[in-house]
Each structure stands twice: as structure tokens, then as C-alpha cells.
Chain A
Amino acid sequence: MFIRLVTVALIVLTIIISHSFPWLKTPVIFSLCNGLAVLGVIVLIRAGQVSFGHAMYSCAAGYMVVFLARAYQLDGLLLIGLATSVATVFSALLGLFIVRYRGIFFGMLNLAFSMVLYSIISKFTTITGGTDGLSFTRPPLAGFVLERDAFETALLYVVLACALICGLLAQRYFESAPGQSLAAIKTNETRLEYLGISAKHVFWMGYLFSGFLAGLGGSLFAIAQGLVTPEAGYWVRSGEFVFIAILGGSGHAIGAYLGAFIFEFVRFYAAALLTGAWQITLGTVLIVIIFLAPEGLVGMLTRFRLPARR
């Protein structure tokens, strides 16, 4: 109940803030996009696995957006759909192989694949624009050709809708049988197998879903930024996703967005106010969270309940 209240409050706040302070629109969009990718990481964290390479799906989707936008005059929404599908298929294929691994090996394999992708993108300068990346002009959105300001407002609502739907979807998934089996991989995989459930299959589904979320976040991010660089797939980005996931907490889908907002704004203000010391700030915030609220921000929310009605 309380979480639902927070969700509604967050949505209302997002809308109010972006309309009264137009410059906040971009950071809000960026945070929501990050939040989507982080939600993907959270899906895996529920299975006790951390991926240090999930930015590769965001990056792959981002490049798909750019390639398609530059080659054909497609609608923004279509671009998002196509790019996300490509990232999902990509994660499904890679997942076939990766879901066999656990723990540090799972993390490192994801990292290895993301670095291979990163290097390939950086190297094929003629196709990918190298490390400077590729930019593209604003695509029409649902058939409307918009100026930057209107475009951003429209995009904000698209991103918000995506975030909300995916949040609900993820929550449904967590509560469903496959979602519960996924969580069982963390607690005791062998027992899961003894129940006659294929842990690999369950994990593969989770991996696929997480790839989809990361891809969706990445394609929206690309559209918002109008530019994609290989930086989007670098391991530091993947590390950020994990960072945010811990910050927000994996107990509930809302954690991803809460974490992403806090992360974006802490970094933003730390970079602006304490030029040159934003890493200290972020690091300290993370340590404090882990020690005081190991369940993340979500953990703090669920512990704090509304008084029950009598």
C-alpha cells in the first residue's frame, strides 16, 4: 500500500517538477531510462546474480536506434520498438550460453561480452563513428514532428509510461511462479532442480526479460540524447547499473527508479558543487546505504508501514 502511494507520488512529482523546471526534463528522462536498465539488473539480482555487462544491451539497442534512424526515416516509437526487440533477441541468444554460469563467473562473462562489443564498436570507425559515436536528427514521435521542447515533453511521457508499465510487469513477474523460481536460484538452486523445475530455463527467462528492460532503457536513452557513443556499453556503465540497483534495493520494482533518481541527482549536484569530488560523495552514499539499509531505499520504504486501519 505504502509503495503504491510512493509510486503515485513519484509520478506526480516527476510531472510537476519537469513542468515547473524545464531544465530538469533531461535529467528526469535520463534517470528513468537508467531506471529501466537497472530494473533489468534487479531481475538478475533477485536470482542472486550480478551482471557487470548489462550496459551492452542498452548500448546495442542504442546503436540500433541510430543505424535505423540514419538509414530510414522511421518514427521514434517504431525505432524504440525495433531496437528493443533486437536487444531482446541478442540477450536471448547470449543468454543460452551465459545462464550456465553463477556468481563471479556470471558477472565476468557478461563483462567480457560487453567489452568485446565495446571494442568492436570503437574499432569499426567507418560504420559506428568510433568513440565519438553517431548522432541523428530528432525523429518524429507518433507521427508528429516536434521542436526540441515539445519533443522532450512528449518523450518524458513516453518514458514515464514505459517505466510504469515495465515496473508493473516486473512486479507481476516477481510474484508469478517463474519469478518465484528465479528467486529460488538465489536461495537454493539444487532444491529448485529437485522440484523438477529447470533452473537454467527459469534463469534464461529472467535473463531475457532483463535484456529487454536494458534494451528498452538504452533505446529511449539514445532517442533522448540524439547521440550514441560506445561509452554507453563500457563496463563502468554496467557498474553504475549495479550500483543503482543496490542503492534502490531489489525488493520492489520501484527501487530501480528511486535509485536512479537519487543517483542522478547526487552525482549531478556533487559534480556541480564539489567539482572533482563527486566520486567520494557517491562512494560514501553507497557505503552508508549498505550499512544502514542493506535492502536499499525500497527496504527503508517497506519497513516504514502505514498504521493499519482498525
Chain B
Amino acid sequence: MKRFNRKFGLIASMMVVLTLWAQLSLAQEKPAELKVGITTYVTGPASVFGVPAKAAFDIMIEEINAKGGIDGVKIAPFFIDEGVGTSGVLSEYRRANQEMGIRVMLAAISSGHCLALAPVAEDLKILNVMWDCSTERVLEDAKFNYVFRTQANATIEMVAAVIYLLRTKPDFKTVAVVNQDYAWGRDSWEIFINTLKALKPDVKVVAELFPKFGASDFSAEISRLQALRPDVILNTSWGGDLDTFVRQAAQRGLLKSSTFVMPLLESSMERIGDAVPDGVIAAGRGDHYFLHPETKNDPAHVAFVKKFREKTGAYPIYPSYHAVQSVIALKAAYEKAIKANGGKWPTIEQVAAAMKGLEFKGFGRPIKIREDGQGMEDQLYGITKKVPEYPFPVLDKMMFIPAELVTTPVGQKSPEYVKTISPEILKKEFKTYNYTK
């Protein structure tokens, strides 16, 4: 009997220990720090985006950490250079996860990298925030539980461009395109022209030019466009390509003889501002701008712009704001998940669940993350205007095209969706903001 008791006692105590241990392992222990992997371009042509974005990451993370981090846990960033190419990024991403135990990633700038990383993140159960890439294919072609986007996508951006164009310049007959010859250049034109044809069927395409990525001379393209004189020219280039094109086109008067739509011009404005005339339709991929009419006087935004200028000597551009949005969204998702978890540190799964339907606010209007992971970010479009306060043009006649109006519904695919957009969309009234000091 004694023996039995002893045995029983042993088993009982073992069971208690086991259940305790099980409970302990269920409740996620609060880590000393939250390691976050961030991919960005430090090398290569896209470092024009990656470097200003990294500065914004540094500023935001430093600021959050100074205020105690997320629920007392500080963020420890680990940067991965996207300039090494897709397979290099894939290897480094996996190393960050499997060797360093990082389970939260902000990736990536390149759409190609987003397409490559999303399935890996899903397999490895990594919470992946696509903070800057634009391809809509990632979230439309597959369903993910761990992959989210804290900004708009190519469809939202380009449909908004068409709407803004038709609102400001409804009467035109011919259109041409000069885009970089790679996925974004091709896809953005596809969305743009299909939307335009749905809304304005009589429009005529007079030239489709796709000079190679990184081209150093656009003389022939510019001559041809001058000979054709299209009413509207779309150019979604960025970085050195956009700078070169704008300089050469401005010098030869092309920017004045046609109406240009340059959805990424904001990111080059400070560098090439002296060449940009008034009247170019411009934007910066989303709802953010250092002269954002609704938030430019918000203390947090003012402080950010000041810090950013001190750090880099330039005004923040859209990738910097996308960086801000992703960090703020991550923090908001963690806080939401902590709350739902009764104040305890959440698992990655809980944070991923919190991401769905999350509402957060960067330095623009509030953004909501849809159930498929897509961020519903409005689009700010405007027209360039020279003002005495800045040595480069600013945006005037700014309009916010709401994301709900121009986003492909869940379950549909963009190429089909844009063809079904009806001209009703143009009748909506949007408030126009003029530039004020």
C-alpha cells in the first residue's frame, strides 16, 4: 500500500509538472527583445528607395524603443540587403529565421522578392509584412495567413491615376507610354490603359515605348514622342531612369507639350525639381507626403520630417513613409493581439490574426488591412507647382482617391476587375486641396 502510494504520488506530481510545463509553453514568454528582419536595398539602382527607407526605419524604431518599445519589449532590427538578388535574399531570409530565430519580417521593396518570399513565409510561419512592393499578384493569386501589406498595390495606384487624370483633364484623344522594361513598367501600363479604355473607350494609343531598365539615353524616344505629340504621356519610371528621362525631356520641351502622368515623381522631385515644369500629374504611391494637406502640421509628422532631414539632408519620400507605416502597423497589431490575449505576450499566430482588420495610422489617413491582407490606403495625387518656399515643385490641387473605390474586391483579379470599372466612378466628388504654406 505504501508502495502504491509512493508510486501514485510520483505519477501525480509528474502529471502536475507536465501540465504546468504545457501551460507555460502555451503562454508565450515575453522575449527580451522583438527581432524584426527588414529587407531593403542598400546596393543596386533601387537603393534610391532602400536607403531613405532604412533611415525611416531607424528613426521609427529608435523612437518606439525610447518610449519603451512594444509593451516593454524593444524592437531589434536586422537588415537584409535586397541588392544581392532573389536567391541571395531567399537564403538570407531563411538564415534570419532558422539561425537567428526571427519570426517577424518586413519584406520587401522588390515585387519579385515579395512574390518569392510570400510562400516561404507562409511555410515557415513567419509574419511577413510587405512594406513597399506593389505587385497585386501576391495576394490575388494565393491565400496567405501570415502575409500582409501595409500599403496599397499597383491596381489601386494606377486606377487612381486614371481617375485623377480624367478629373483634371477630361478632354484628350491620344495617349502614349514610356515605361521601364520590367514587370512594374509593363504591369502598371496594362492596368492604366485597361482602366482608361473602360472609362474613356475612344482614347487612342499612339506609342508604347519600353526602353530598357537603367537606360542612359532617351533621345530617340523623346524625338519620337515630340513627332507624335500625344495629349497624355504616362511614365511610371523611378530612380535614375526617371531622373534621366525628365532631364532630357525637360531640356527638349517635351514636358510642356504633352500632359505627363508620373505616379512616382514624388520620389525624385527633390533631386530633379528644377527640371520639372508646372502641370505634371504626380504622386508618390499612396497617402503620404511631407506636405500632406491633412497631416503636415501634426506634431508627430513634423517631428519625423525634422528628424529625417537632420539624418539624411533630404525630405522623406514615399518609401520612407511606407517604412513608417509598416512599423506602426506592426506595433498596432502586437498591441491589439496583447489586448486580445488578456495582456499576455502573443504568439505569431495571434499577431497574424490581429493583422486582419487592423486599423492604424501612419502620417496620412488611417489605413485598414482587409481580410485578404491587402492594405486599404487612399491615393494622393496632385499637379506640380513651383512655389517660393521650396527649391523644387510641390503638389497642388491635391485629391485623395479613396481606396474602397479603386481596389479590386477580395476574390477577384485585377486584370478582369479594371475592365469592369464603370464611368460612374468619375461622378464622385472629392475634396481638392490647394497647396498652402
A contact residues vs B (CB 8 Å cutoff): 21-24, 26-27, 30, 122-123, 125, 129-133, 135, 137, 147-148, 221, 225-227, 229, 231, 264, 267-268, 271-272, 275-276, 278-279
Are B115's CB and A125's CB within 8 A? no
B182 at the interface (CB under 8 A from A): yes
Are A227's CB and B123's CB within 8 A? no
Are A23's CB and B181's CB within 8 A? no
Are A278's CB and B84's CB within 8 A? yes
Q: A267 CA to B88 CA in the complex, in Å?
A: 9
Nearest first, the 5 A-B pairs at minimum CB distance are A23-B98, A131-B182, A132-B183, A130-B183, A148-B123
Q: Which of B89-97, B169-177, B406-414 sits within the interface?
A: B89-97
Q: What distance in Å separates the Cβ of A60 from its nearest Cβ neighbour in chain B?
A: 17
B contact residues vs A (CB 8 Å cutoff): 42-43, 79-81, 84-88, 90-92, 94-95, 97-99, 111-112, 115-116, 119, 123-124, 135, 137, 181-183, 186-187, 190, 210, 213
Are B91's CB and A30's CB within 8 A? yes
Determine the chain A residues whose CB is within 8 A of the CB of B85 once the complex forms: 231
Are B42's CB and A275's CB within 8 A? yes
Q: What distance in Å separates the Cβ of B121 from its nearest Cβ neighbour in chain A?
A: 11
- In addition to A135-B115, A148-B123, A225-B90, 6 A-B residue pairs with Cβ atoms within 8 Å of each other are A23-B95, A131-B112, A137-B119, A264-B91, A271-B84, A275-B42
* Chain A, residue nearest B79 (CB): A275
Q: What distance in Å separates the Cβ of A65 from its nearest Cβ neighbour in chain B?
A: 15
Are A125's CB and B187's CB within 8 A? yes
Q: Select one of A23, A125, A147, A276 contacting B42, CB under 8 A.
A: A276
Prevailing SS type, chain A contact patch: helix
Are A227's CB and B116's CB within 8 A? yes
Q: A221 CA to B91 CA in the complex, in Å?
A: 13
* Chain B, residue nearest A236 (CB): B85
* Chain B, residue nearest A28 (CB): B91
Q: A226 CA to B92 CA in the complex, in Å?
A: 16
For A21, A221, A225, which residue has the most chain B Cβ atoms within 10 angstroms?
A225
Are A271's CB and B81's CB within 8 A? yes
Q: Assess A135 versus B97: contact at CB under 8 Å? Given A225-B90, A231-B85, A267-B84.
A: no
Determine the chain B residues whose CB is within 8 A of the CB of A276 once the complex forms: 42-43, 81
Are B92's CB and A148's CB within 8 A? no
Are A133's CB and B124's CB within 8 A? no
Determine the chain B residues whose CB is within 8 A of the CB of A131 once the complex forms: 112, 182-183, 213
Q: What distance in Å separates the Cβ of B264 from its nearest Cβ neighbour in chain A?
A: 17
Q: A135 CA to B123 CA in the complex, in Å?
A: 15
Q: Assess A229 versus B112: contact at CB under 8 Å? Given A27-B91, A131-B183, A132-B137.
A: yes
Q: A225 CA to B187 CA in the complex, in Å?
A: 23
